[in-house]
Amino acid sequence: MTGEGEIPEVDASVDSMDAQDLKERLDGGERTTILDVRATSEFEEWHVDDEAAEVENVPYFEFLDGVDEEMLARVPEADPLVVVCAKGGSSEYVAGQLEAAGRNAVNLAGGMNGWASVYERHEVSRYDGEGRLFQYQRPSSGCLSYLVVGDEAAVVDPLRAFADRYLADAADLGVDLAYAVDTHVHADHVSGVRELAAEGAEAVVPAPAVARGIEFDVEFTAVEDGDTLSVGGVPVDVVHTPGHTTGMTSYLVDGSALLSGDGLFTESVARPDLEEGDVGAPDAARQLHETLHGNVLALPDDTVVAPGHFGPAAEPVGDDTYSARLGDLRESLALLSMGRDAFVEHVLADMPPRPANYEEIIAVNLGREDADDDTAFELELGPNNCAATADAGGDD
């Protein structure tokens, strides 16, 4: 495949659409046809995934000999057709070829890297504790982070790529960012806790995660089950919820919202194999079942569950957040009513591929390996795949 530095020129004017415009178009339910011109292997691993999007894949190199009638027959017709590649170069060439052939094609500026830079904030309106709670959403990967705001702020599960965003948002809300908190050692994205600590926030990690060999170059606080952080007058209780990892920890914000990390999602539960691999997965799945029944389902039904990820099966609620009442999840997720053996069998039965580069991401998040900003961004591109398969036997 010709590299983006060797892309030939085409004599046609090409319009572009940026990733935020595409997101707003999809959010509005406007049917959008996307032509992804990356290699098929890259496309199958990760692409724009939305109910309003029809996505087709024809690799870029197939356009190098020009666009004839046979090629046009393979390319979907749309007004406009949005063409996307990795960084925006190859897709610009293809869009130009299609424009020259009479099709209405636009280039997605920045490509899938631009799509991975879309980051949105929504307030969790059903949270009824002290202060305010905001959810950050990265649609390209389904990663969710949170900003707890009282007289000061804490960000939970920050992404390194958006460290400046949290600081700016806290300032816009008139508070200082006092804490940067992780729920566990992440395998799907590079944590921003250390970057925010370098800017004055207190880094907070679960004490059990320290046993995995954290080697941070900044000071950090290790919190235990039963501890409480005070975020500008907002109490945040530490709840150890192992299963996804041994150190997995949730944070109960003023008794109203459980920031459940990767333990419980609105459409499934955690996968148990990213720390101990296939050998340790059965024991981790049994521990997850115990955690859910002993620590999570013991909470009141009106507790808002605010997870660390959302997948294709998840639906946002009225405030545009991916959250749910615990009582509703009891009814909608069959996994939560299964006995331990059936639960373990189902969780282990059909797990998705592990997140891309997960071993290297874990090493970076432990502080054992270094990665500059560009490398960190590239490492985490793609789906998070931190959940077990979508719940079987539920309502979907």
The 10s digit of each residue's pLDDT in 141-178 is: 999 999 999 999 999 999 999 999 999 999 999 999 99
Residues 107 and 141 in one domain: no
Radius of gyration in angstroms for the set of CA atoms belonging to the chain, rounded to a whole number = 22
The 10s digit of each residue's pLDDT in 298-317 is: 999 999 999 999 988 889 99
Is the residue at 202 inside a domain?
yes
Exposure b/e, 87-115, CB count within 10 A at least 16 = b: ebbbbbbbbbbbbbbebebbbbbbbbbbb
Residues 35 and 51 in one domain: yes
Looking at residue 36, which CATH number applies to its domain? 3.40.250.10
Is the residue at 82 inside a domain?
yes
Residues 258 and 305 in one domain: yes
Residues 126 and 105 in one domain: no
Count up the domains in the chain and report the number: 2
- The mean per-residue pLDDT over the stretch 212-222 comes to 94
Determine the Cα–Cα distance for residues 152 and 216; give it in Å rounded to an integer.
24
pTM, whole model, 2 decimals? 0.93
Last residue of a domain, one of 58, 87, 115: 115
pLDDT given at position 396: 31
Residues 134 and 23 in one domain: no
- The label of the residue with tokens 């009106």 reads 302
Residues 167 and 290 in one domain: yes
Residues 89 and 143 in one domain: no
pLDDT given at position 352: 85
Is the residue at 386 inside a domain?
no
CA contacts within 13 A on the Cβ side of 35: 31
pLDDT given at position 178: 98
The 10s digit of each residue's pLDDT in 240-267 is: 999 999 999 999 999 999 999 999 999 9
Is the residue at 326 inside a domain?
yes
Handedness of CA 192, 162, 116, 90 (dihedral sign): negative
Residues 104 and 235 in one domain: no
Is the residue at 394 inside a domain?
no
Looking at residue 300, which CATH number applies to its domain? 3.60.15.10
Domain that includes residue 337, residue range: 120-379
Last residue of a domain, one of 87, 115, 143: 115
Residues 111 and 235 in one domain: no
